[in-house]
Amino acid sequence: MELIKGETSPAVWLAAAEHLNGLKKSEDFDVILHIAQPTVLSIEDRRVYDEVDTFLKSHGAFGIHTVAETIFPFDEYQRAGKAGLFGPFPEKLKAIQKARSDGNWGSYAYRILRQRDAKGKIFNPLEDMLIKIKKHGKYRASFELGPGSPMEDEIHIYDPATDRGRLYGGPCLSHLSIKVHDGQVRFNATYRSHYYVRRLLGNLVGLGRLQFFLAHEAGLKVGPLTVNSTFARLDTGSGEGSGGHWTKAEAKALIVRCRAIYDKSALAA
């Protein structure tokens, strides 16, 4: 078990990767990551982002942006706004999934936009969540309440109908808890199995973009992001499809290069 705290997603990703790199099997249970500003990137953060992104793409894996899009379709939000995201996009995403060999791509994004209730009726969890957040935000603003109890709600990602038979593969993000407190949207995400080279930084970016969407649409600020990786691994890619492949030595060299970016900046200051 390890708690890793930092200001930005790239900085926390690097600290987490260094933690796993220092363990004998390069894996750990219950690694807790806390990012204070999940949507902020310094110049050095951007360089680390680019370093990781180039590494992933050059080794046959999805880039950071592509991984982030599987959690929240930020490109679609920028293109068509909230109406396009809530309206035609989920069916478009379904068509994309059917056409791809890796049919699980975009599962997170679809599940936060379309689920069925106990009676079989289709609903939009993200839209419902936004409505609740807006109501809560107005209430707090109108009455100028003190800290008090935060509004909290959840979006369940794990689907027992399709995921229960899988030991590996399929969506690894199993639960997303959302809280509003002191005018900020806070996230707490649980991953059942987490690959820290090919997925983690993209996951953090995607979750931050989802936070931004909810905060922006509700007129609130983006709060901290907390991630619990119940099992974390410094992976070498999947070796198939778009999972890429690299050696442990190459992953370690990536970590060293990224740390050098921050160290160089610190020395210059």
pLDDT in tens, 140-179: 533 333 333 444 555 555 444 444 343 334 458 888 888 8
Lowest-confidence pick of 2-16, 67-81, 158-172, 193-207: 158-172
Q: What is the pLDDT of residue 104?
A: 53
Q: Strands 27-35 and 184-191, how do they pair?
A: unpaired
In this prediction, residue 1 has a pLDDT band, given cuts at 50, 70 and 90, of very high
Number of domains in the chain: 1
In this prediction, residue 201 has a pLDDT band, given cuts at 50, 70 and 90, of very high
Mean pLDDT computed over 44-53:
99
265/247 Cα distance (integer angstroms) = 28
Please say if the pLDDT value at position 124 is more than 90.
Answer: no
- Which CATH number does the domain housing residue 176 bear? 3.30.572
Lowest-confidence pick of 94-103, 107-116, 129-138, 200-209: 94-103
Residue 25's domain comprises 2-268
Positive or negative, the CA dihedral 4, 45, 229, 181 is positive
Mean pLDDT computed over 128-150:
59
80/269 Cα distance (integer angstroms) = 42
Please list the alpha-helical segments (H only) found in the chain.
9-21, 43-58, 64-71, 74-86, 89-99, 107-113, 125-143, 160-163, 200-218, 248-268
What does the block give as tokens for 72? 């929240």
Q: What is the pLDDT of residue 95?
A: 65
168/176 Cα distance (integer angstroms) = 20
C-alpha gyration radius of the chain: 19
